[in-house]
A and B are shown apart, each in its own frame.
Chain A
């Protein structure tokens, strides 16, 4: 079976005052339909650049080499329709001047060929799907009236409104407190299973990622250090760097 996504030799660089800064170096991997992949690394490892590159959101100044292929699609993937994207800070990724229902509805309207009214109804369905209570009422709320966890659910609903087959979540839980964090991760797991939605979960938290993903990809300095089944990677990391990340996490737990 051909994968949903095939990445081959992907490199991304940004022009700098002297020469260029390489953010991603020769990265290759496959992603199967409905598969959950965790992308782990410290800040500056290139994991966010990978997310933006997959979604086609790199700034125009970026210098890109390599291939991101969608074998089953037969056309270039488009943002929102084939790929949903969830950002780290749900407060910043929602327009403060538009009701949350409208922000979900405009995605459905843009991609599903729905009328304004149908799109509104679809938005309420999506808000319900991501586990928000009384979605019909909540659709009329403004972002500032919601809690951080609720906002992230709205952002996920907006990312799903175009019925994409891949969801990229860039540190979707780091701005939230621990309990809410666990609930959002559970929501992503449920959505992935129910919709056969492929998931790229970008995180610095290897333990959180291991609980969600089937495979883990570890990044360092823009390169893919190792990729493998989640349980195996956590139990027996092949690379020293992965071991270090695990130890750092355990040390943190021991302190707490």
Chain B
């Protein structure tokens, strides 16, 4: 067990400089942009005189030097203060934490869908490499992999919401529905079906392809031939030996894919008006709310790091070679 903790601690310590790099990099990039929050504010409020501009700049700390502002930002970050959102007139952290559960729900469901369905179909395709099922699924996944998520979302919307009227077209729950408990959960689930499908299907294609390739590789290993030589039923060889081994690379992908999916959720949340982090990023961009945008990027990076840690832990559970000692 101590080996597991040592690994975990090393990964946690390693993520600190990475996070610091993300903060400084993002801060510098957004600071390099022409115009600041005051310009954006004035653009929306219809302008103002020089005195007001100067006063606003001073109040928001925009009149200080770049380094001073970076230092101040890092200092407040150390106190878990992510700054003040001009657009929402509220602390950034508060807004982000409010939107986070929705995004986590969307991402979690989409990951479960893409990983589960991708792995299952990958097993079907990889059970007999070169079979009709394999070729059909491989071609289908390649086609799906070429589909932009936001467009798939719109098509699903036209089909299931506009034409068939089966599912709601947007939002996370019915407005002022007065529902509670199980009824409310069912209402949220109904709202999530389309965005989760749109987000999940795209990434499902990738998991399917990796699972299939992993299975093809596992078939070439000698233990596959050895299992056949021992007369193990084919079904058991496929599930317990081939698929089990092919699952490992799929799990390692989860970490990187979580970052990809967070990016993809920006457009999906916009299409379906889901009030999550992704749509918030879109709002921060259009209103030039730099502290909010940095906050979102930072929170995404933290999420990705947490997911990566979870993936490492999961990998340790799945692969005995990670934690159990080798031959004495």
Chains A and B are bound partners: yes
Q: Chain B 229-257, CB within 8 Å of chain A: the 1/0 string?
A: 11111001000110011001000000000
Q: Chain B 278-306, CB within 8 Å of chain A: the 1/0 string?
A: 00000000000000000000000000000
List the A side residues contacting B321 at CB < 8 Å: 96, 142, 144
B→A interface (CB under 8 Å): 221-223, 225-233, 236, 240-241, 244-245, 248, 318-321, 324-327
14 contacts between A and B (CB under 8 A): A55-B229, A78-B231, A80-B231, A92-B222, A93-B223, A94-B223, A95-B227, A107-B231, A107-B232, A110-B232, A110-B236, A144-B321, A145-B324, A158-B226
Complex Cα spacing A158 to B227, Å: 10
Interface centre among B325, B326, B327 (most CB of A within 10 A): B327
Q: Are B320 and A97 touching (Cβ within 8 A)?
A: yes
Complex Cα spacing A49 to B322, Å: 36
List the B side residues contacting A110 at CB < 8 Å: 230-233, 236
List the A side residues contacting B320 at CB < 8 Å: 96-97, 142, 144
Complex Cα spacing A94 to B227, Å: 8
Q: Are A81 and B319 touching (Cβ within 8 A)?
A: no
Q: Are A162 and B231 touching (Cβ within 8 A)?
A: yes
Selected from A79, A81, A84, A95, the residue in CB contact (under 8 A) with B228 is A79
Q: Are A95 and B223 touching (Cβ within 8 A)?
A: yes
Selected from A78, A83, A87, A147, the residue in CB contact (under 8 A) with B222 is A87
Q: Are B326 and A92 touching (Cβ within 8 A)?
A: no
Complex Cα spacing A30 to B36, Å: 90
Q: Are A155 and B324 touching (Cβ within 8 A)?
A: no
Q: Are A80 and B245 touching (Cβ within 8 A)?
A: no
Tell me what chain B mostly uses at the interface: helix, strand, loop, or mixed. helix
Q: Chain A 4-19, CB within 8 Å of chain B: the 1/0 string?
A: 0000000000000000
The verdict on A145 contacting B222 (CB below 8 Å), with A78-B231, A97-B320 known, is no
List the B side residues contacting A97 at CB < 8 Å: 244-245, 248, 318-320
Tell me, rounded to whole Å, the shortest Cβ–Cβ distance linking B219 to chain A: 11
Q: Are A95 and B241 touching (Cβ within 8 A)?
A: yes
Selected from B230, B319, B327, the residue in CB contact (under 8 A) with A159 is B230
